[in-house]
Amino acid sequence: MRLRSIVSPRALRLPLFAGLVLAVAACHRAPRGRLAPRPLPSTQALIPAPLGLRVVSSDSFIITDSTRIVIAADAAPDVERLAGQLSAMLAPATSVGGVSRLAPGEAPPPRSISLQVAPDTLGDEGYTLSADGNGVVIRAGATHGLFNGTQTLRQLLPVSVEHRAAVRRVLVVPAVQVTDRPRYAWRGAMLDVARHFLPADDVKRYIDAMALFKLNRLHLHLSDDQGWRIEITSWPNLARTGGRTQVGGMAGGYYTQAQYADLVAYAAERFITVVPEIDMPGHTNAALASYPELNCDDVAPPLYTGIKVGFSALCASRDTVYRFIDDVVREISALTPGAYFHMGGDEVEKLGHEEYLRFVERVEGIVRAHGKRAIGWGEIAAARLDPSSVVQHWRPARNGKPSDSSHVHAARGGQVILSPGNRTYIDMKYDSSTTLCLGWAGLFDVRYAYEWDPETVTPGVSGRSLLGIEAPLWSETLERRTDFEYLAFPRLIALAEVGWSPQSAGNWKNFRDRLGSNAPRLSAVGINFHRSRDIPWREQ
Ligand code: TNX
């Protein structure tokens, strides 16, 4: 049953008089056009909307100190780790019961939360969640699905679950039956930590927020003209020199390999795959400034702290450059268990087209030689790519005409990630009053980020060739964590639903109310979000 089918239109109907009184009262309290928001029950506020949800009764289950989290006798270590995470999420309520393994053949005891791995047809990320007065069962074919189920459980619980040290809170789970799986395998977010450096702890907070909405890829844009942000031991000046500054000329920064590995592990615990990007051959001034031999004239340019693009390029005819790339890809790949390496490839104005294509093909070979699937921005699709490589479409198509060769890549059996600038570039201003950010792809608020169908974005890219969607957050104008969050939220939440829920669930009015009901949760986890005018925010 679809989510919409449980929202009874009759429940929304008010006696006419009461309705008028409420509407007039609302006019005095809220800006024009907004009704005083009423809280939605948690079963009607889930984001992303699950494939199927049924409220089974008015029963509920209260998690207490004696609630046990149970897993099978032979459950894999990652299931046990997940159970521990769930226990921490529910602490202190479950501190007494904790996690227990069932004896072989033993049924889950009454009033427990049971995590079960069992073959199903819902894929790696799908799950079912059943809750009634007797407890909760989350079942999935793989641990990732179980994790997604725990995030749904989190959203079903009162906001007080986010308050770690809350006393006297009552963790009530409504009686529901959820069957869920994602629409797309790739539901990503990108952070540009190059234009302005974002410390690892701030990235972790972004990861936490991504997990709550079931996003599963974190693309880190680790290098650009203005900064190189990861330690490479065989080329130490990249970080030491190239990481020194950032846009505006303030001190920059970089992740040591240990910090990067820690970030990757932190993301993996939340079932998020880190996708490292080293942008090349353009967007490379920070590298060129660090090593003269990467320049055709052997002269290192000064560090750059402006926001122009297109002016830099590695010397594509030099063997040293490919040795450098090989070292960088090797070191980063060794720290990254995920299957992908992003090679950039965008906005190159300093190389001839043929030279650019040969460069892309050679670097794709290097990436593949290190066991990774290559990803690159839309421009790389013009090269003779291997079908295993992935193209990230970003320039919005105009008048139905493709803006890049994504369709060519799809035709040769390749896959495409969609990041159309006008829908997913969450570094665009919300409206003309937004002071941060850019506007080249258009100003847009959360509704525009929500109301689109990935299947119709660019001709020739749909179905199997569409790997998923991603929301890049470029940081030319973003200096601190709160700036990043302000631009990302709530648009990233809308995009999380576009990537997860079936197109048929995409009902703006319904989403708007669910999003408004999530304000207390966003506040509780400390996200600095933009109060989009279209949303009936419920602040407590
Ligand atoms: C385009 S998208 C870029 C970035 C900028 C961004 C600003 C892409 C592949 N390149 O270098 O930061 O626009 O919105």
Atom of ligand 1 nearest to the CA of 475: 12
Q: What is the pLDDT of residue 511?
A: 97
Ligand 1 pocket, residue 309 CB under 6 Å? yes
Q: In this predicted structure, what is the pLDDT of residue 438?
A: 83
Average pLDDT, rounded, for the chain: 91
- Cβ atoms of 440 and 490 closer than 8 Å: no
What local confidence, expressed as pLDDT, does residue 522 receive? 96
Interval 483-527: pLDDT, tens: 999 999 999 999 999 999 999 988 999 999 999 999 999 999 999
User: Ligand 1: which residue has its CA nearest to atom 10?
Assistant: 346
Confidence check: pLDDT of 91 > 90: no
490 preceded by cis ω (within 30°)?
yes
Q: What is the pLDDT of residues 70-88, one digit of tens each?
A: 999 999 999 999 999 999 9
277 lines ligand 1 (CB under 6 A): no
Strand-pairing partners, residue 220, are 191, 276
Confidence of residue 425 (pLDDT cuts 50, 70, 90): very high
pLDDT (average), residues 354-371: 98
pLDDT at residue 506, as a whole number: 85
E strand residue ranges, 358-441: 373-377, 390-393, 415-418
Q: Provide the pLDDT confidence category of residue 397 given band limits of 50, 70 and 90.
A: confident
CB contact at 8 A, 360 and 376: yes
pLDDT digits (tens, 9 = 90+) for 38-68: 679 999 999 999 999 999 988 899 999 889 9
Distance 236 CA to ligand 1 centre (A): 27
**CA separation, residue 532 to residues 113, 302, 420, 444 (Å):** 37, 41, 21, 10
Nearest to 214 by CA among 190, 178, 180, 177: 180
Q: Known catalytic residues?
A: 347
Distance 4 CA to ligand 1 centre (A): 37
Please compute the mean of the pLDDT values over residues 460-467 and round it to a whole number.
Answer: 97
User: Residue 1: is its pLDDT beyond 50?
Assistant: no
Cis before 302? omega within 30: no
**pLDDT tens string 163-205:** 876 667 889 999 999 999 999 999 999 999 999 999 999 999 9
Non-local CB neighbours of 445 within 8 Å, separated by 6+ positions: 430, 431, 491, 532, 533, 534
159 pLDDT above the threshold of 90: yes
Is 2 a residue whose pLDDT tops 50?
no
- Domain ranges across the chain: 52-180, 186-428+454-476
Residue 454 contacts residue 469 (beta carbons within 8 Å): yes
Report, as an integer, the average pLDDT of 345-358.
96
User: Which pLDDT tens digit goes with each residue over 214-261?
Assistant: 999 999 999 999 999 999 999 999 999 999 999 999 999 999 999 999
Question: How many Å apart are CA 269 and CA 85, to the nearest integer?
Answer: 9
3-state secondary structure of 352: coil
Q: Is the CB of 438 under 6 A from ligand 1?
A: yes
pLDDT at 297: 97
- Cα 61 to its chain centre, rounded Å, is 31
- Given a cut of 60, whether residue 116 has pLDDT beyond it is yes
CA nearest ligand 1 atom 6, residue = 474
Q: Which helix (H) or strand (E) holds 486?
A: helix 481-488
Please tell me the residue having the least CA distance from ligand 1 atom 12: 474
**Buried/exposed code over 355-364 (b: 16+ C-beta within 10 A; e: otherwise):** ebbbbbeebb
Q: What global pTM score does this model have? A: 0.92
Predicted local distance difference test score (pLDDT) of residue 168: 75
Tell me the CA–centroid distance for residue 474 and ligand 1, in Å.
7
72 CA to centre of ligand 1 in angstroms: 48
Please state the rounded mean pLDDT for residues 442-470: 95
Q: What pLDDT band is residue 25 in, cutting at 50, 70 and 90?
A: very low
Architecture of domain 186-428+454-476: Alpha-Beta Barrel (3.20)
What is the per-residue pLDDT for 32? Answer: 43
User: Quick check: 124 and 142 in contact, CB under 8 A?
Assistant: yes
**Cα–Cα dist 295/286, whole Å:** 12
Nearest atom in ligand 1 to the alpha carbon of residue 344 is 9
Q: At what angle do helices 491-500 and 200-212 cross, to 10 degrees?
A: 50
- Quick: pLDDT tens for 281-325: 999 999 999 999 999 999 999 999 999 999 999 999 999 999 999
Q: What is 52-180's CATH number? A: 3.30.379.10
Confidence of residue 33 (pLDDT cuts 50, 70, 90): very low
- pLDDT of residue 398 exceeding 90, the answer is no
Nearest CA to ligand 1 atom 2: 394
Question: Of 430, 381, 431, 370, nearest to 403 (Cα)?
Answer: 381
pLDDT tier at 12 (50, 70, 90 boundaries)? very low
**Residues 6+ positions from 488 with CB-CB distance below 8 Å:** 189, 206, 209, 426, 471, 473
pLDDT of residue 96: 66
pLDDT on residue 165: 67
Q: Which positions ≥6 away from 35 have C-beta within 8 Å?
A: 22, 23, 26, 536
Q: What is the predicted pLDDT for the residue at 326? A: 98
pLDDT score, position 208: 97
Alpha-carbon span 125 to 148, nearest angstrom: 7
Quote the pLDDT of residue 341.
Answer: 98
pLDDT-derived band at 439, boundaries 50, 70, 90: confident
